[in-house]
Structure 1
Amino acid sequence: MMKLNICIDIDGTITDAYYWIHLANKYFNKHIKEEDVTSYEMHEVFNIEKEEYMKFYNNYIREIHETATLKEDVKPILDKLSETNNLYFVTARDKRVEDITINFLKDNNIPYNDIFLLGKHYKVDQAIELDCDIFIEDNYNNAIQLSKAGFNVILIDTYYNRKKLNDKITRVTNWDEIYNIIINIYLEKVS
């Protein structure tokens, strides 16, 4: 049986997209709600300088990622997909939170073949190296880069990625939709 190589982002993809807002609201003394997060650039959302947001992120990186919450419909879908496919987590998280990331996956019994903490948002090279068949992402710019490099992308809908898509990107709202798309891609490859 042929296996697909499925690359999966972590934050906003298998985790809730907005789990960190309460920490940033407290730090910046703001009252940002999920629907206010209409940009992936958090300094724009909080109306502050980028350096100020990066200072917050760097000071609280571990606490931010330790509070991540798994989306409720992710685990059963990943369990099913892992039976017949290769699952690779490809994240912009950096090595400072490698232990937190691995423990999060382990504590939630998330199956995977390997994990890549890139420390940057550019993921095309890693997708090429993994011979990726489909990439599951929430970052609009990543989705565009990956799609322009020829990859099929599933973009999980968020308030911050609602922009025009090209024909290599499919927007979804839940993991059941992701599963159905992947099954269809598999069927196309074997027929």
Structure 2
Amino acid sequence: MQQLNICIDIDGTITDPYYWLDISNKFFNKSISEEQVTEYHCYKVMGVEQEEYREFYENYKFEIHSKQELRENVRDVLEILSINHKIFFITARDSSLSMLTYSYLKTNNISFNDLFLLGSHYKVDKAKELNCSVFIEDNYDNAIQLSENGFKVLLIDTNYNRNPINDRITRVYNWNDIYTFINSMCIKKEAI
């Protein structure tokens, strides 16, 4: 089996996509439901200024990210994929969350080869550096940007990313879909 370099976002991709909603609702005295989260940017969902949300996030980011629930089957799928492939986490989180992120992945028994906290949503250069075979993402804008730079992207479905996709993006609905897609990708590569 040909080894793939699988690049994966963290927040909303391996974790529940609405992980930030409860604490944000409580802080901003809102009652936004998951179904109402049709926009990626949290401040827009909350109806507050970007700077106001940024200040809230800076004060609560450790609490927010330490309590995230994993998506169903993430651990099992990544454990199986890590046998034959390299797993790289590439996140927009900033370096202040480095220890927390490593600890979170280890505590949750998530298999991976390396972790990159970019402090930015721009992931194209890191994907190129890692010779990324497929990128798993929940952010629609990131998926478009990566696909326009030649990467195959699996966009895991959420309420906030249901925009039209191009032929380099495949919409998936869960981690079992991701496993199936990657297996079929390997079979196609072996057949060539």
- Structure-1-length-normalised TM-score: 0.98
Partners in 2 of 1:127 and 1:144 — Cα distance? 14
**Any conservation in 2 of the 1:20–1:67 contact (CA below 8 Å)?**
no
Secondary structure, counterpart of 1:159 in structure 2: coil
Secondary structure, counterpart of 1:182 in structure 2: helix
Unaligned 5+ runs, structure 2: none
Partners in 2 of 1:109 and 1:20 — Cα distance? 22
Is 1:164 equivalent to 2:164 in the alignment? yes
State the match for 2:179 in structure 1: 179
**Any conservation in 2 of the 1:4–1:133 contact (CA below 8 Å)?**
yes
Partners in 1 of 2:168 and 2:60 — Cα distance? 36
Aligned-pair RMSD on alpha carbons? 0.8
Partners in 1 of 2:23 and 2:96 — Cα distance? 19
Equivalent runs, 1:130-149 vs 2, <5 Å = 130-149=130-149
1:48 deviation in Å? 1.1
Equivalent runs, 1:59-138 vs 2, <5 Å = 59-138=59-138
**What amino acid is aligned across from residue 66 of structure 1 in structure 2?**
S
**Any conservation in 2 of the 1:79–1:110 contact (CA below 8 Å)?**
yes
Secondary structure, counterpart of 2:160 in structure 1: helix
**Any conservation in 1 of the 2:72–2:175 contact (CA below 8 Å)?**
no
Equivalent runs, 1:40-55 vs 2, <5 Å = 40-55=40-55
Q: Which runs of 4+ in 1 moved over 2 A?
A: none
1:72 deviation in Å? 2.2
Secondary structure, counterpart of 2:136 in structure 1: strand
**What amino acid is aligned across from residue 25 of structure 2 in structure 1?**
N
Secondary structure, counterpart of 1:161 in structure 2: coil
State the match for 2:34 in structure 1: 34
- Structure-2-length-normalised TM-score: 0.97
The sequence identity of aligned pairs, in percent, is: 55
State the match for 1:57 in structure 2: 57
Is 1:24 equivalent to 2:24 in the alignment? yes
